Chain A
Amino acid sequence: NKGDKDGERSEEALQHKEQKPQKTRKRTREGDEIKLDPFPGPAPIPEDRVQKFKRKEKTKTPHHAHYKLRDMIVRSEEASEMAQKQAARFDILLPEDAGFLEGDEDEDTCTISQEDIALDVDITSGAKYFNLKLSQFGPYRVDYSKTGRHLLLGGRRGHVACIDWQSKQLMCEINVMESVNDVKWLHSEAMYAVAQKKWLHIYDSNGIELHCIRKFNDVLRMQFLPYHFLLATASATSFLQYLDVSVGKEVAAICTKTGRLDVMCQNPYNAIIHLGHPNGTVTLWSPNQKEALVKMLCHQGGVRSVTVDKTGTYMVTSGMDKKLKVYDIRAFKPLKSYFLPAGASCLSLSQRGLLSAATGDVVQVYRDVWNTPVSKPYMAHRVRGTVWGLHFCPFEDVLGVGHGEGFTSMLVPGAGEPNFDGLDANPYRSAKQRQEWEVKALLEKIQPELISLDPSELGQVDQATFEQRHQDRVQALGFDPLARQKFVPKFKKKGRSSAGGVERRKKQVAHEDQREIIRKTVEDKMKMDKERKEREEKKKAMLTSQRSALDRFKI
């Protein structure tokens, strides 16, 4: 429908263009051939790009809507369509393309070694494959900052280091002289949180301890919700706690009553925390509710790792039953189930949907696990020790692996989002830009009360409250102000308002409402009939196309 309209418009534009030059040309030179624009009208936009920027379905104008409402709907529809098209046009101009890795004929991409890739690509990219041999304090947890420029390593035996990993500059290196359970960057590269043996500590990028938060004890895993400025922690005492890092207040402390919590991830789409439990369930939590929003039984045996993709559509879990399962987290339905002989201890999803799974000391990367059944990995790499932390670097084709013998930075072509948004997470930002971003981000910090399963809930019409208020109004007024008025036929002169005539006119209108419904059902019926017929014809065609043995005697 939309395409048709565009077509018409462009045709019109074409006609206009045709007419104008004709006139001017005729005046200047007679008999000269008229040059036409070979590409008239606005440039076409690929449909899939337009689809990418689609926020919602078109709003249907209610049949009996007030003209003001109708006008408003039409205008906003037009505006959103224009915005969608402009965004799609802009999308074509984005400078970078995603990486890829293709093997030669009958060469598996998973057999290609990291060294080969590093030799094959340019020097700067090749330098992104490196090993840090830190055998003393391992195994290591890993975290990249939101822009992907900074790397945070936390060794089990107390070694914490942050590195500007692209320039290989060490920002700070400390030993906290305590066991470290997890490390996490906060909103910028100036601060990070370390979950130590007893308490939660916050350090700045020079390694100076800023806070020791005694309300958070025995923390095993942490997640940072960047738009809410919330640090969610899961502890050995089965507490899920939220810390607002902008004001330093504990927002919520939820006792999950499910034992030790050492499997945790966040859904980046709606800021819901997913926890995996030893009994095979995965539970979903928000800070606004003391009970789990959802409990899913995912595995027989304990859950070892959980991860959710960027769009909030898919959840991947791995369990003690050595299975890797993919769920549609919006419908809470299992999609795919894979069997990994060794089972996966760590999972991580990249921005472009590559899944990395660590089995023992082997890191495997899978592509497109939710659409097509995958039989072999996209890439594989063996590291020196058992893998303890796994994290894709945002906006880079790099996978960071923390293991018993240190840290390995792997090249995974096609993992990172090629084009970043400078106002959201800019890897090349200057100190000034970072400061400005920090102020803006703090100003639009989302309140924790707004965390819910559907993040767009706030933009929808609150029908329930409206109905309640309408009822109150009806009760207060004593009549329904929105009720349709009874049809009173107009008085006509010259004897045309006879009693019979008036009744006839009333009858014409009486079925107006029902007509609409009847028309709709008839249309539906017709459609179904048509479909059925088509199906039957297809079947018939199929049957007739099968040649029987006697067909050869036919002419």
Chain B
Amino acid sequence: MKVKVLSRNPDDYVRETKLDIQRVPRNYDPTLHPFEVTREYTRALNATKLERVFAKPFLASLDGHRDGVNCMAKHTKSLSTLLSGSCDGEVKVWNLTKHECVRTLQAHEGFVRGMVVRYCGASFFTVGDDKTIKQWKMEAMGYGEEEVPLNTILGKTVFTGLDHHQKDGVFATCGQQVDIWDEQRSSPIRSFTWGVDSFSCVRFNPVETELLGSCASDRSIVLYDMRESMPLKKVIMTMRSNTLCWNPMEAYYFTCSNEDYNLYTYDMRYLQRPVTVHMDHVSAVLDVDYSPTGKEFVSASFDKTVRIFLKDGGHSREVYHTKRMQHVICVKWSADSKYIMSGSDEMNIRLWKANAAEKLGVLAPRERQAANYSQKLKEKFQHHPQIRRIARHRHLPKNIYHQTKELRIMKEARSRKERNVRKHSKPGTIPVVSEKEKHVVTVVQ
């Protein structure tokens, strides 16, 4: 007779001393873990609920400006530094970790229209309503010294926007035309015009560094190559675009914020129709900025909210608002992709988390593991009705809630009418125009 009976040595399964951690032998046999799907579903449901519980995105409000914040600039080398310019010509430099202003200077008379930090991080440029471009040193002046710009250029017209080249001493301004400047010269090295009288924004492409995009007041977005003497092409839309931002990871794509409450992501090569139309705002969109990962972007709107969109998502994944925040004029996504800064009309700069429920600070390995696991679960079960309902739920201010509803009703009515017209006319005479095609008037090469 040969016999073997299960006989475990408890020493293999129990910790030796109280100072050890407990032993947890695993066996991943699926038959020992019944109800796999339903248990995971329950976990996902719990994780989704907890995410909503922990969603506290607002971190700090930086006050100190004496007028609305009109523009902001990220420091190119330091994560904790933010520059902001207000409507009274004042520029402030902030330390974000301490939530305090480290430097104030009166840069312009009238609005500070644009601001950009040089790629080396040693100096920054501002343009203002007083028709000047000024270059400032990043370091604060010594005690008792007067704040004087390194360099001042007096232009012929008002400048409305400014951007710096990624790695050369060249910058671009816009106003009545788009000018390319060499830092060493006091007159532009190149000027682009295409039959329009004013531009609101100009941006260098961060990947293809010689390319520029600009938004013009004749509802067009114009693209340039710095090496050529003429603009490349432009697309005319039904409404004016306020700003545009290039995707930092995909050279072809840019997103523009439009007056018609939408944002449009375009592929530079095919301007006939936008790649995605991002809807959700209920008023004009004023600013947009990409996250450094290029997967998401944040938009600021006149409807007093900040929204975060996925780059290919038609609707926002997140909306931030507070009772006190007024029209949001400018917004920036921090270079470590964790924070969002928004500057608004009522003189404050607000600091938000990019992921509302994320835990800040250093995570223990097990903590991170658990967070990753629950993230994956949420992704896996995101389409289940109960989970989706909880995950999508956001509190909105009453007026925005009603406005959204109103807009939806209007849109439905329009589409119903179009459908009825199509139904009662000769087949083929009224073509189906998709939402993407609706907003583009024409493309001019």
Chain A contact residues, CB within 8 Å of chain B: 52-53, 55, 87, 90-91, 94-104, 107, 112, 116-117, 120-122, 124-125, 128, 227, 268-271, 310-311, 395-397, 411, 413, 416-424, 426-430, 432-433, 443-447, 450, 455-459, 477-479
CB contact list, B399-429 vs A, under 8 A: 415, 419, 422-423
Q: Report the bound CA distance from A479 to B428 in whole Å.
A: 12
Q: Report the bound CA distance from A397 to B8 in whole Å.
A: 11
Find B2's partner among A100, A122, A430, A455 (CB 8 Å cutoff). A100
Interface: B38 (CB within 8 A): yes
CB contact list, B132-153 vs A, under 8 A: none
CB contact list, B1-56 vs A, under 8 A: 1-8, 10, 12-14, 22-39, 41-43, 46
Q: Kindly list 7 other residue pairs between chains A and B, CB separation below 8 angstroms, not including A120-B3, A428-B23.
A: A87-B28, A102-B2, A124-B7, A270-B35, A446-B42, A477-B415, A478-B419
Cβ contacts under 8 Å, B12 to chain A: 95
Q: A446, B38: Cβ atoms under 8 Å?
A: yes
Q: Report the bound CA distance from A117 to B355 in whole Å.
A: 63
Taking the closest CB of chain A, its distance from the CB of B413, in whole angstroms, is: 13
Interface: B432 (CB within 8 A): yes
Q: A413, B5: Cβ atoms under 8 Å?
A: yes
Q: Report the bound CA distance from A393 to B38 in whole Å.
A: 26
Find A424's partner among B33, B42, B43 (CB 8 Å cutoff). B33
Q: A99, B36: Cβ atoms under 8 Å?
A: no
Q: A90, B6: Cβ atoms under 8 Å?
A: no
Q: Report the bound CA distance from A100 to B423 in whole Å.
A: 77
Taking the closest CB of chain B, its distance from the CB of A195, in whole angstroms, is: 25
Q: A456, B36: Cβ atoms under 8 Å?
A: yes
Q: Which residue of A lies closest to B412 (CB)?
A: A476
Taking the closest CB of chain B, its distance from the CB of A267, in whole angstroms, is: 10
Interface centre among B6, B36, B42, B432 (most CB of A within 10 A): B6
Q: Given A421-B27, A477-B419, does the pair A413, B3 have CB atoms closer than 8 Å?
A: yes
Q: Report the bound CA distance from A95 to B4 in whole Å.
A: 15
Find A411's partner among B5, B23, B384 (CB 8 Å cutoff). B5
Cβ contacts under 8 Å, A116 to chain B: 1
Q: A422, B23: Cβ atoms under 8 Å?
A: yes
Cβ contacts under 8 Å, B423 to chain A: 478
Cβ contacts under 8 Å, B4 to chain A: 97, 99-101, 121, 413
Q: B419, A444: Cβ atoms under 8 Å?
A: no
Size of B's binding interface in residues, CB under 8 A:
40
Taking the closest CB of chain B, its distance from the CB of A223, in whole angstroms, is: 15
Taking the closest CB of chain B, its distance from the CB of A124, in whole angstroms, is: 6
Taking the closest CB of chain B, its distance from the CB of A440, in whole angstroms, is: 10
Find B432's partner among A430, A459, A479 (CB 8 Å cutoff). A479
Q: Which residue of B lies closest to A459 (CB)?
A: B37
Q: B34, A450: Cβ atoms under 8 Å?
A: no
Q: Which residue of A lies closest to B28 (CB)?
A: A87
Taking the closest CB of chain A, its distance from the CB of B205, in whole angstroms, is: 25
10 nearest A-B pairs in the assembled complex, by CB-CB distance: A422-B24, A459-B37, A428-B13, A478-B419, A102-B2, A419-B27, A125-B5, A421-B27, A125-B7, A87-B28
Q: Given A227-B34, A478-B419, A478-B423, does the pair A121, B26 have CB atoms closer than 8 Å?
A: no
Cβ contacts under 8 Å, A117 to chain B: 3, 5
Cβ contacts under 8 Å, B43 to chain A: 443-444
Q: A268, B34: Cβ atoms under 8 Å?
A: yes
Q: A430, B5: Cβ atoms under 8 Å?
A: no
Cβ contacts under 8 Å, A87 to chain B: 28
Q: Report the bound CA distance from A396 to B5 in whole Å.
A: 8
Taking the closest CB of chain B, its distance from the CB of A156, in whole angstroms, is: 31
* Complex interface bits, B288-302 against A, C-beta within 8 A gives 1, otherwise 0: 000000000000000
Q: Which residue of A lies closest to B46 (CB)?
A: A443
Interface centre among A121, A268, A416, A458 (most CB of B within 10 A): A458
Q: Report the bound CA distance from A342 to B25 in whole Å.
A: 43
Cβ contacts under 8 Å, B25 to chain A: 95, 419-422, 426
Find B3's partner among A101, A418, A430 (CB 8 Å cutoff). A101
Q: Given A95-B12, A421-B27, A424-B33, does the pair A416, B6 have CB atoms closer than 8 Å?
A: yes
Find B28's partner among A90, A310, A456 (CB 8 Å cutoff). A90
Q: B28, A96: Cβ atoms under 8 Å?
A: no
Cβ contacts under 8 Å, B1 to chain A: 101-104, 107, 112, 116, 120
Find B37's partner among A102, A395, A421, A455 (CB 8 Å cutoff). A455
Cβ contacts under 8 Å, B6 to chain A: 96, 98-99, 125, 395-397, 413, 416, 418
Cβ contacts under 8 Å, B7 to chain A: 121-122, 124-125
Q: Which residue of B lies closest to A118 (CB)?
A: B5
Cβ contacts under 8 Å, B38 to chain A: 227, 446, 450, 455, 458
Cβ contacts under 8 Å, B34 to chain A: 227, 268-270, 455
9 residue pairs A–B, Cβ–Cβ below 8 Å:
A97-B4, A99-B4, A102-B1, A116-B1, A117-B5, A421-B25, A422-B25, A428-B23, A432-B22
Q: Report the bound CA distance from A311 to B7 in whole Å.
A: 25
Q: Report the bound CA distance from A424 to B30 in whole Å.
A: 12
Cβ contacts under 8 Å, A125 to chain B: 5-7
Q: A422, B46: Cβ atoms under 8 Å?
A: no
Q: Given A447-B42, A455-B38, does the pair A417, B32 have CB atoms closer than 8 Å?
A: yes
Cβ contacts under 8 Å, A269 to chain B: 34
CB contact list, B52-111 vs A, under 8 A: none
Cβ contacts under 8 Å, B37 to chain A: 455-459
Q: Report the bound CA distance from A123 to B335 in whole Å.
A: 67
Q: A422, B39: Cβ atoms under 8 Å?
A: no
Q: A91, B419: Cβ atoms under 8 Å?
A: no
Taking the closest CB of chain A, its distance from the CB of B437, in whole angstroms, is: 14
Cβ contacts under 8 Å, A91 to chain B: 28-29
